[in-house]
Amino acid sequence: MNSPNQKTLVGSSAEFENTLRLIARLSPPEGLEERVQARLRAKADMAPGKTRILRWPEAQWIQNLARAAAAAAIVAVVVGGGWGVLSRFQPSQPSNAITVPPHGGGQGGFSSAGAMRTPQTLNGPVVAHPATATPEADKAAIKKPVRHGKPTAAKKAVAQSVVPSAK
Partner 1 sequence: MSAGQAVFSGWMEIADKAMHEEARRRAEEAIVEALVSEYAGTLYRVAYSVLRNAADAEDAVQEAFVRVLRHRDTLAEVRDQRVWLIRIVWNVVLDRKRRMKTRPETDDVAELARVLPATGLSAEERVAAAQHHAHVLACVEKLPAKERQVLMLSAFEELNSVEIAEVLGITESSVRSRLFRARNLMAGLLDHPRSLP
Q: Please report, as ranges, the residues that interact with partner 1 according to CB under 8 A.
A: 1, 3, 5-6, 9, 12-13, 15-17, 19-29, 32-33, 35-37, 39-40, 43-44, 52-58, 60-61
Q: How far is the CB of 72 from partner 1 (least distance, A)?
A: 21
Report the sign of the C-alpha dihedral through residues 44, 45, 47, 53, in that order.
positive
For residue 59, the number of C-alpha atoms closer than 13 Å in the C-beta half-sphere is 4
- Least distance CB 33 / partner 1 (angstroms): 5
Q: Which CB, 33 or 136, lies closer to partner 1?
A: 33
Whole-angstrom distance, CA of residue 78 vs CA of residue 87: 14
Which amino acid, 21? R
Whole-number Å distance between alpha carbons of 9 and 13: 6
Looking at the Cβ atoms of 36 and 78, the one nearer to partner 1 is 36
Q: Which is nearer to partner 1, 19 or 118 (CB)?
A: 19
* Contact in structure between 77 and 83 (CB atoms under 8 Å): no
CB of 6 to partner 1, least distance (A): 5
Q: Which is nearer to partner 1, 7 or 129 (CB)?
A: 7
The phi-psi region of residue 104 (left if phi > 0; otherwise alpha if psi is between -120 and 50; otherwise beta) is left
Residue 42 C-beta: closest distance to partner 1, Å: 10
